[in-house]
Structure formats: C-alpha cells, structure tokens
Amino acid sequence: MAKKGFGCERSECASSTDISGEASFGTGGLSRDGFWEFPCEECRNAWRLWQKWGKEVSVVHDVTTAPKLYTVKLSYFKAGGKWYSDGEYESKCAELFDIWDEVRGMRDRRHLPGLMEGCSEFIVSVDVPDHPHSHPRLII
C-alpha cells in the first residue's frame, strides 16, 4: 500500500474491496470480484491489525481518495437587496469559514463565478448544501 507505515509500503500496492465486502490488497490486475492478481499478504495482515485495534479503516483508502470538493452556491444581490444573478464553484476548503474567506476574496477581486471579471460590488449569499455544518452566510 502506498501509505507510509502501513503494510508493505510499496507504491504500486493498491487497495480495493472484494465481493464479500472485505478490503483486498495487491498488485497487477483486479478481478471483477475485487481480487488482485498478486495479493499482498503484508497489507492484508496490516489491515487486519488495524481492524482488530479499532482504528479507522478509512485511513487505508486515503491514497486513492481525492480530497472532497464542496459545491458552493452563490447568489449575488445589488446593494439595495435586489437579486442579480447566481453562481457556483467547487471549493477544496474543508471549513465553512475558509470557504467564506475564499468567496470574500473573490468578491474583493471582483472576480466571481458566473459574473464578468471586474463586476461591480455585490452582496453575496453563500450556501454549501453538502457541508456537514451547512448554513447560509451573507458576505456584505
């Protein structure tokens, strides 16, 4: 597994889930049932240990899992409160306040998703519906 301190630590060793729902590790081809052409006993044993000690198995999948992107939904309002337009982008930020900061920065640079560059100043409502702590926020 490509993770340092886990199993064989070979970069080519990868993880999958076999047909019974168990994690499987190895190299070469992966069968439709989730079994590797060259199974890796070292990683499998390491994984069993992780399970036994109650550690999170999700760590095992870190290498193949891309960072979560949050879809950020934006609405733009004129200073008087009149709705103007909507925008949307994907943020790599994990925390809501970082996303708000990111949006504030885009607004200050007058470069907001869905609007022409150099747009005039707007009040922006920010919503990140799939964030676990989701609640709307106004950037004024």
Q: What does the binding site for Zn ion look like in residue numbers (CB under 5 A)? A: 1, 7-8, 13, 25, 40, 43
Find the shortest distance in angstroms from Cβ 26 to Zn ion. Answer: 7
113: left (phi over 0), alpha (psi -120 to 50) or beta: beta
**Cβ at position 3, least distance to Zn ion in Å:** 10
CB of 15 to Zn ion, least distance (A): 8
Beta strands at 23-30 and 14-17: parallel, antiparallel or unpaired: antiparallel
Identify which of residues 7 and 103 has a Cβ nearer to Zn ion in the complex: 7
Q: Is there a contact between 46 and 7 (Cβ–Cβ < 8 Å)?
A: yes
**CB-nearer residue toward Zn ion: 26 or 93:** 26
Q: Which residue has the tokens 């994990």?
A: 94
- For the CB of residue 6, give the shortest distance to Zn ion in the complex, in Å: 8
Q: Considering the complex, state which of residue 55 and residue 68 has its C-beta at the smaller distance from Zn ion.
A: 55
User: Please, which residue, 24 or 75, has the CB nearer to Zn ion?
Assistant: 24
- The dihedral through the CA atoms of 118, 123, 129, 134 has a sign that is positive
Q: Do 71 and 88 touch, CB atoms closer than 8 A? A: yes
